[in-house]
Amino acid sequence: MTMVLATSRSSSYHKRMAAVRYLLATQHQQLLLEAQTRCRVEERSDPEWFCRWRNHCGLLRGYHDRQKLGFTTTRRKRASKRQALRGLPDDWRDQLCVRARNGKYAYAMLVAALTGCRPAELQAGIVVSREQHTESTEELIVFRVDGVKVKEGHGQPYRLIAYRANDPHPLMRAIVDLLNSDGAELPLNVQIERPGNFTVEVRRLAKCLWPTHPHAVTAYCFRHQWAADIKSTQAGDVVSRGLGHLSAKTRRYYGLAGQARSSGVLSPFSIEAPRLVRPEKMVSSRGSLTLLGP
């Protein structure tokens, strides 16, 4: 169990415990099969098999003792990816998207910047459509993001993030120009094959643009910057819906309002999601639960 404990990450601990469990189950099945074979041929005495069985039982006891204790190592403090935003220029997203303009991720970069989607949601596919608002008759560019972290009490099944088609923000101008130059027919499904490859490309381009930046710029930086922009202009529940969250408290882990850029803040026309955001719960000084709004 020494290797199981040699980590400061709970996720690594549980993965290693799962590997040990699989190994022990396989070994247990093999030993029982050998015992049944020996019984059929009346080979009832095998010191080597009994020695292996005793060792196996000792490992089983050790595994169950470790399982009862759980993860006891001091956890390593989680480093937030929003730290990578510090020191980047105000137009860092624009620069990255321009750099990717002629590559395979041209649309994916723009969609990630405009929606704050998860890379896995890009893998599932994000639909870009052109619609007309029923009341104002304004032309809108609408992004439909289907959630990937969705359970009965967790996450938003989908969210709709709409921008005015004539929005002057450089990112909106870039995607409209790209759609026009490609002659793409809407709705358009923007999709990537592998989230890991997309993040590698974001990191590579960022390193070319800002070689001395102390933090790795990844695909999740788009998500943190989007959250920061929306937090600076919208109510909390709007941010949660846009990020695909069902719980209000989860948004605290994403970009801060103070990280919104002095110029170039994204301002969606509307953000919609089907589920109501659960308010955050906090314990008051008297010990009772207090519900806090957004």
Task: Identify the band that residue 79 occupies on the pLDDT scale cut at 50, 70 and 90.
Answer: low
100 vs 38, which has greater pLDDT? 100
Mean pLDDT on 117-139: 93
- The H or E element that residue 266 is part of is none
> What is the pLDDT at residue 291?
43
Residue 73 has pLDDT above 80, yes or no: no
Q: β-strands 280-283, 289-292: how paired?
A: antiparallel
> What is the pLDDT at residue 74?
66
> What is the pLDDT at residue 286?
46
> What is the pLDDT at residue 265?
92
Task: Identify the band that residue 45 occupies on the pLDDT scale cut at 50, 70 and 90.
Answer: low
Residue pLDDT, tens place only, 240-261: 999 999 988 888 888 888 888 7
Residue pLDDT, tens place only, 220-245: 999 999 999 999 988 888 999 999 99
Residue pLDDT, tens place only, 5-23: 677 777 777 888 888 889 8
Q: Residue holding tokens 């190592």?
A: 73
> What is the pLDDT at residue 227?
93
Q: Are 294 and 230 in contact (CB under 8 A)?
A: no
Residue pLDDT, tens place only, 162-218: 999 999 999 999 999 998 888 888 899 999 999 999 999 999 999 999 999 999 999
Task: Identify the band that residue 153 occupies on the pLDDT scale cut at 50, 70 and 90.
Answer: confident
pTM of the model: 0.71
Residue 50 has pLDDT above 60, yes or no: yes
Sequence-distant (6+) residues with CB within 8 A of 106 are 97, 100, 178
